[in-house]
Amino acid sequence: MNIELRPIRTEEDYRRALKMVEMVFDAGQEPEPESQEAASFEALVTLIEAYERKHYPIGAPNAC
């Protein structure tokens, strides 16, 4: 699978990136470790995580 790496700036970019990750998992084959595909996949997941931290922050749990 060819993963196109681009910054995730919009909700549309975010949904596109999630779809790419979903396609990898649905295929049942993650890229071979240490391959260029694995590096691109890891970079894509990192971009998704950064977008989620900024736009969907998870607050600290309430202490009861």
Domain boundaries, the chain: 11-55
Contact assessment for residue 13 and residue 52, using Cβ atoms and an 8 Å cutoff:
no
The answer, yes or no, to whether residue 2 has pLDDT greater than 90, is no
Q: Give residue 22's pLDDT.
A: 94
User: Tens digit of pLDDT for each residue in 12-52?
Assistant: 999 999 999 999 889 888 789 999 999 999 999 999 999 99
Q: Give residue 15's pLDDT.
A: 97
**For the chain, what is the HEC assignment?**
CCCCCCCCCCHHHHHHHHHHHHHHHHHCCCCCCCCHHHHHHHHHHHHHHHHHHHHCCCCCCCCC
Q: How far apart are CA 28 and CA 23, in angstroms?
A: 9
Q: The whole model's pTM is what?
A: 0.84
**Overall residue count recorded for the chain in this entry:** 64
The answer, yes or no, to whether residue 1 has pLDDT greater than 70, is no
